[in-house]
Structure 1
Amino acid sequence: MAPTKTNNRRSADRDLSPDFSAITRGKHALLHGAFAEGRGLKLGASTALLMIHQVCEALVPVLIGVSIDKAIGPSDLGALLWTLGGLAGLFLALTYSWRHGYRLTNRVYGFGDHSLRQMVIAKVLDPRATGKQFGAGRTLNIATSDTAITAGLSWLVSQMSASLAALITAATSLLLISWQLGLLVLVATVVFLVLMHFITAPLERRTHLQQERAAEATGLATDLVTGLRVLQGLGATRTATERYKETSRASLQAALGTAKSEALFSTVTLGLSAMFLAAITWVAASMTLAGEISIGQLVTVIGLAQFIQEPLSSLAYYPAGLAQKRAAAKRIAALLNTEVGADAHLTSTDSAVTGAVAFSELLVRGEGNHPDIRLLPGSITGLRTDARSARELTVLLAGRTKDAGARLLINGVAAGGLAALRSTVFVADHDAAIFTGSIRDNLHAPEPLDAVLGATGLAEICARLPLGLDARVGEQGSALSGGQRQRLLLARALHQRQPVVVLTDPTTALDSVSEARIAAALGTLRDAALLIISDSPLLLGACDTVVDTTSLHTAGVNP
């Protein structure tokens, strides 16, 4: 049965062009992940809950000291019961606040990471982008590692706030016991943070360098794997391997440098914390022997001194953590602010032509001595031209140039909106991506058309596979040969809903016999207006009309 497709297309609900004006610098990307889209209120609530958790933990040694002085020392059963009840209430409050504070912070982090990743992907998939601005490896690293690091600001904010709350509670408790002890804790905290600031400076620099080197290594690895077949064809695999080894070694050295700095940071932190604890314990013990504080207060002081080691370490790490997130946010902002071929008339949604109007004609006005190209429903038009002109034409038909509205007429009306153009014309890139999944997933058609599968030879390939259309294609189509990839891409293009389909060299990876079969079969598919850009005699011979512009160049005419 011949496939049936309709030329009446739905209008795009909105323009596909995303707005990135909110992310102009790295700090905006940083704040977006933690506070935008209603996440600020959730982060505030989660921070408050985690602060309550830390305050309750700081009060535990205080209440234990009180129970020693008020209940255990005097053997007062009533006081023992109410202090035990107070401890139970503290543990109930700190458990509840930690559970829900952790859950809320994790939600803020997860949705912030997702939002940043969506913005990165939307930018890369912007219809006006030519594809040259973004490398696959660089984009992968930014869309995974950098977005997660940047969104981690939510954890940094909540944990730093909780650490401050713990220190304030501990210092206040010590001041109530003895102003000398409280003052000692405050002075020691300030000295500790100042010393750690100087220690974390090299850690910040090395962390930033490690992120850069890791991003380079990841990007290069991704690009090399993507172009492995090309490298093998050129005999350049050894050179590519050596280049990756150099980049990987640089990344390893940066990681080792960061590890050394982190080891130094941990060692100094533990050493200073131990010295701090010893000093507090010695002063408190001396005051106990002198009768200035009680046994219960001594227990409280030692417990608080042990407790505040973790908040102090967290506060000391704050500059390094913030520097890491700022570096990642700057890379996100740099990608989001990359210029694309934006133009006012391409983003207008008030076009006079939409896909909802029955398609009758697409006219491509030629420039210079180039002739016009007229595409009609059910027609097959061939174009034989040079590579540069072919590339310029596909960019024009994809709406990535500023003069698309002036040179493209849909049903006799200028293509004034990108949405209208995208709903009318589908441009099948010669090197389009194969998505990880099955053949059916890549066709993006739950019920693929038998005629298209037969015409492209994909039905024959599926017949040899145990799972047929549900056979897996591997990572980026790695399980397919070059010819199979091209058949799949051609079938995917012919399954599109747009009334105009543009194919660029759709059979270069096929042998002449397979190419002849596909050329003959294309003549039976008269549902869309096909524009085939190729210099293949077999494909051009199957076209109703052929436009040949190569003579203009051989005659020395500049189009």
Structure 2
Amino acid sequence: MPIEGRDVLRRAITGQWKLSAGGAVLAASHQTGEALVPVVVGVVIDQAVSGGDGRALVTWIAVLALVFAGLSTSYRFSARAAEKAAELAAHELRLALTGRVLEHRAGAEMGRLPGELVSIATADAKRVGAVNVALSAGAAALAGLLAGGVALLLVSVPLGLLVLLGVPPLLALAHLLGKPLERRSGAEQERAAKASGVAADLIAGLRVLKGMGAERAAVDRYRATSRDALTATVRAARAQAWHDGGMLILTGVFIAIVALVGGRLAAQGDISVGQLVAAVGLAQFLLTPLSILAWANGELAQGRASAARIASVLSSPPAVAGGEDDLPPDVRGGIALKEVSYGLLRDVSVEVAPGELLGVVTIDPAVATSLLKVLGRAADPESGVVELDGVPLSSIEPGQVRRAIVVAEHDADLFEGTLLENVGAAAEPGAAWPAMEAAAADQVAAALPYGTQTPLTERGLSLSGGQRQRVALARALAAAPPVLILHDPTTAVDAATEARIARGIRTAREGRTTIMVVTSPALLAGADRVIFVDGDGRITHGTHAELVHDHETYRAAVLT
């Protein structure tokens, strides 16, 4: 069942209902206390000031002080409860979004840049969480309006009825005013997230862009995206201004009518001087809850828009279906592709023996990408089947597949932490250092000021491109999965280091299945067998030496 925006809002509210309800009750107490202030002042004038009763004056001033102490305390604790509810709700939404993005079946990232997902998990989650504050404040404002209306009823029935009967249509108009803001707020968040995603994407590939001389194209792309985001932000700000201005006019007219009616009643002698002061004070007080309602309505409109964006991620269709079969108890690592079609792959049939070190060369990088997706079960074939030890991958739960088959992407990211933590986080005990030696990452450690304990910055940007590749390769080797698929792991290292890595991979992966999707002659020379996929999808088998000697297209692909 697809998740909708209202489901996200309901989850954010009901998940923190105790805090929200407590905050609303305390905030209502604050607003009720605020409504009592002009009433008490009116009583002071009628019973103490007009009659010159000093004892009554002291008594009512003490009552007024108690009212202020109560409303001040209730405001402080209501704000604390509402803010806590908002932060906890936003935190739970971030956890849900993170869980969906990291789910083994994937799919949430389809059509979205990483920066866009980050924006949804931060800005949108915060806006939805803030709905708890808006609801608490809105409930308090309604309580204030009710208290003010009842107080005005005690002063004058016409004034009280005017407030109690005038608030519902005012709220209906406020809801209508919030509709354009909701629509444009959603567009604003979407375009801002897009701009954030493009910026993060360009920064991550800055070195490549500079190497290609594509800085101007990158700037033009970001300028266009940023301009779209600016346009959406201006439209949302304009909608916010119309909403706030409209609410200000409505509330101002409403309060003016209340004050006008109260003044006429006082002039006719239907209410006393103290009651007039109370009525005027209550009319002025009504501006606060009405302003709070206007603010809460705007927050709810923006919260609904953000909830819809969060729902779109949470309800994203999975890239692959689940599976009911289990992996074999002892995975041998035999891989078979039987007439597999996916992307640019067409009717590909390949068998990889358990423990084999296989090289795969493709002319088109998109073919390599398609192959990596079906082997790692990031996607299921459109037709055909991929098997692991005779069991179709499509029948196995994706999480189990990825414990048996690890795809080490070409652009694998490193994380904040020490060099050793990056390599050994998923490693078997004692496997980290041998894996580093196999990947020539021990040279990286030797070049760093604190060796393996040197802290790395986010994404490993404190290292060079070649150093990052060697550390990422060491991490993949240290995991020691039954099947390891490597995609161009040495494109940024020198020839001598690449030859050492080729020997290291063979040693480290002895007895385990390894598939290298590469064009490196050094790595291919160390493979047991190489398959070459040409531009028409035809497959040629052989050793690297045989293919270099006999196949002109292969020779051009790996030696030029």
TM-score (normalised: structure 1):
0.82
Question: Higher mean Cα deviation, 108-117 or 227-236?
Answer: 227-236
- Structure 1 equivalent of residue 526 of structure 2: 542
Distance 1:336 1:431 in 2: 26
- How far has the Cα of 1:77 moved from its partner? 5.0
1:46-445 to 2 correspondences below 5 Å: 46-76=23-53, 78-129=55-106, 132-186=110-164, 189=167, 193=171, 200=178, 202-267=180-245, 269-270=247-248, 273=251, 276-277=254-255, 279-345=257-323, 348=324, 351=326, 353=328, 357=329, 359=330, 361-368=332-339, 370-376=349-355, 381-386=357-362, 390-402=368-380, 407-409=386-388, 416-445=396-425
Q: 5+ unaligned residues in a row in structure 1: which ranges?
A: 1-20
1:511-550 to 2 correspondences below 5 Å: 511-525=494-508, 529-533=512-516, 534-543=518-527, 545-550=528-533
- Paired residue secondary structure (2:485): strand
Deviations 1:445-500 (A, max 9, x none): 39883332233232322333334445454443333322122112112212326444
Q: Is the 8 A contact 1:30 1:326 kept in 2?
A: yes
Q: 1:217–1:402: structure 2 CA closer, same or farther, 3 Å change rule? A: closer
Question: Higher mean Cα deviation, 284-293 or 61-70?
Answer: 284-293
- Structure 1 equivalent of residue 555 of structure 2: none
- Structure 2 equivalent of residue 26 of structure 1: 5
Q: Is the 8 A contact 1:146 1:329 kept in 2?
A: yes
Q: Is the 8 A contact 1:341 1:401 kept in 2?
A: yes
Q: Is the 8 A contact 1:200 1:317 kept in 2?
A: no
Distance 1:64 1:316 in 2: 28
Give the aligned residue type for 1:364. Answer: I
- How far has the Cα of 1:438 moved from its partner? 4.5
Deviations 1:107-130 (A, max 9, x none): 221122122222222222222226
- Paired residue secondary structure (2:349): coil
Q: 5+ unaligned residues in a row in structure 2: which ranges?
A: 340-347, 542-560
Matched, 1:490 2:468: no
- Paired residue secondary structure (1:502): strand
Matched, 1:43 2:28: no
Deviations 1:226-252 (A, max 9, x none): 333333344332122122222323332
Deviations 1:157-197 (A, max 9, x none): 11111111111110110111012322343466467556656
- How far has the Cα of 1:422 moved from its partner? 2.9
Q: 1:475–1:528: structure 2 CA closer, same or farther, 3 Å change rule? A: farther
- How far has the Cα of 1:76 moved from its partner? 4.0
1:431-510 to 2 correspondences below 5 Å: 431-445=411-425, 449-496=432-479, 498-510=481-493
Give the aligned residue type for 1:87. Answer: L
Give the aligned residue type for 1:107. Answer: K
Question: Higher mean Cα deviation, 521-530 or 208-217?
Answer: 521-530
Deviations 1:488-534 (A, max 9, x none): 21122123264443322211221211101112233442577251413
> Which one has more relative contact order, counting CA pairs under 8 Å at least 6 apart?
1
- How far has the Cα of 1:551 moved from its partner? 8.3
Percent of paired sites with the same residue: 35
- How far has the Cα of 1:208 moved from its partner? 3.8
- Structure 2 equivalent of residue 5 of structure 1: none
Distance 2:509 2:539 in 1: 37
- How far has the Cα of 1:29 moved from its partner? 1.7
Question: Higher mean Cα deviation, 458-467 or 113-122?
Answer: 458-467
Distance 1:32 1:188 in 2: 32
Distance 1:492 1:405 in 2: 32
Give the aligned residue type for 2:93. Answer: L
Give the aligned residue type for 1:462. Answer: A
- Paired residue secondary structure (1:366): strand
Q: Is the 8 A contact 2:137 2:296 kept in 1?
A: no
Deviations 1:371-417 (A, max 9, x none): 421334xxx6123243566444433443334579974345x767644
Distance 2:6 2:179 in 1: 20
Q: 1:98–1:441: structure 2 CA closer, same or farther, 3 Å change rule? A: farther
- How far has the Cα of 1:270 moved from its partner? 4.7
Distance 1:139 1:290 in 2: 64
- How far has the Cα of 1:312 moved from its partner? 1.0
TM-score (normalised: structure 2):
0.82
Distance 1:57 1:440 in 2: 61
Q: 1:556–1:291: structure 2 CA closer, same or farther, 3 Å change rule? A: closer
Instruction: Give the CA RMSD over aligned residues.
Output: 3.5
Give the aligned residue type for 1:46. Answer: G
Q: 1:381–1:31: structure 2 CA closer, same or farther, 3 Å change rule? A: same
Give the aligned residue type for 2:401. Answer: L
Q: 1:179–1:477: structure 2 CA closer, same or farther, 3 Å change rule? A: same
Distance 1:555 1:199 in 2: 63
Distance 1:286 1:551 in 2: 93
Give the aligned residue type for 2:96. Answer: M
Q: 1:497–1:532: structure 2 CA closer, same or farther, 3 Å change rule? A: closer
- Paired residue secondary structure (2:479): coil
Distance 1:441 1:34 in 2: 39
- How far has the Cα of 1:72 moved from its partner? 3.8
Q: 1:71–1:142: structure 2 CA closer, same or farther, 3 Å change rule? A: same
- Paired residue secondary structure (1:365): strand
Aligned residues: 523
- How far has the Cα of 1:68 moved from its partner? 2.8
Question: Higher mean Cα deviation, 280-289 or 149-158?
Answer: 280-289
Distance 1:521 1:449 in 2: 13
